[in-house]
Amino acid sequence: MAGNERRLRILIAGGGLGGLTAALALLQRGFDVQVLEQATELREVGAGVQISANGSRVLHALGVGEAVEREACEASGKEIRLWSSGQTWKLFDLGAESVARYGHPYYTVYRPDLHGALAEAVRRASPDAIRLDARVTSFSQDATCVTLHLADGSEAKGDALIGADGIHSRIRFGLFGEDRARFSGMLAWRGVIPMAALPSHMRRMVATNWIGPGRHVVHYPLHHGELMNFVGIVERSDWQVESWTERGTTEELAADFAGWHEDVQAMIRTIEVPYKWALMLRPPLERWTDGRVTLLGDACHPTLPMMAQGAVQAIEDGFVLGRALQMSPADIPAALLRYEEARRERTNRMVVASAENAARFHNPALAEAAGAQAYVDREWAEERVRERYDWLFSYRVDEIAV
């Protein structure tokens, strides 16, 4: 925005990882940004997130990579383990090999650490960019601006609106009406465990995926290795509440993984409060932009958590959006459409791949050791793994056409 031109004002509904990434990318490109977050304090749920090389590339490009790295774990590898015996197959290296192959590291991060680094960078760039206790109820737009209507009766006006307000997006509802979610038949459990509470042989800087018929468990280190993130997914039809804040009990969680290896049981016993949420399926949107309004992250391409890419894709969205608006600030609707075009095929492919992994992790062939060996040898052969992940990890968000 050179000379005496007015700085364009971009409204972002939602102060999560995707919204803050978009805010930072836009602030660094000279836009005026207002993030409207309904919470009264800016914080993330206590859970883990995996940031593969395609995501850490964005963080370093935005100047927050070092801050995140100081708090994160750079896991040395990823492995598959069998639910009953604990038999282990090495999947791939994550440390030096990620940097060598893809140019950037693979982090496992405590969500509050990542969220805090992004929020601090946004506030450093613009101290008043984040407005809390600002719950969006609706919006309207015309040829020149967008107006957000808030629950307290106030309004916010801008040149564009980004709906980064998550899986229950009010902005998506305003654009396209009722959600078309359907239950996936799976329930997810999550918990964060003090690493010191685990048996010594489990205190490793390794990401592990336990696979078995009808369910699986993922765990990995967080926050300098002081914490272990736990996610367990089980096929059940009796719980269909889609919320990250619903509490369950350790007894119920243990019952869902009865008969599983003692290492899994040891983790479950140390989770003070497990949380549970129903995994829902939503068809990819045919479009997610209308005029001066667009969506990013879970608001437009929510996915099952089977590729560990939900947060990363929102982060990618935010960066690409910044590039698209920078390229043609004089025509915001066209810039938003170019952002959508640049992202649609990739995010749709990610949604499909995540659903395919759900079936892969829960296959009936995993019930017995003999069948499991043949199944893992086939499904996790090096060439199959590369086929599933190379296209994700090698993506260069700063170089793709916009």
**In Å, what is the CA distance from 84 to each residue of 44, 204, 218, 374, 394?**
34, 20, 15, 16, 34
| Three-state SS at 97 | helix
* Of 170, 123, 160, 124, the residue nearest 14 (C-alpha): 170
Q: Structure tokens of 91?
A: 């999947």
Query: Tokens 């654009």, residue?
Result: 175
- Residues 151 and 8: their CA atoms lie apart, in Å, by 25
* Of 262, 20, 271, the residue nearest 130 (C-alpha): 20
**In Å, what is the CA distance from 299 to each residue of 6, 314, 323?**
29, 9, 20
**Contacts by residues 247-254 (CB-CB < 8 Å, ≥ 24 positions apart):** 247/273, 247/274, 247/275, 247/276, 248/189, 248/274, 248/275, 248/276, 249/274, 250/274, 252/276, 253/189, 253/191
- Residues 127 and 130: their CA atoms lie apart, in Å, by 8
220 is catalytic: yes
The active-site residue, picked from 102, 106, 110, 220, is: 220
Q: Structure tokens of 301?
A: 């391409």
Q: Structure tokens of 279?
A: 């995994």
Query: Tokens 């009796």, residue?
Result: 238
Do 220 and 205 meet the contact criterion of CB atoms below 8 Å apart?
no
Q: Which sequence positions are flagged as catalytic?
A: 220
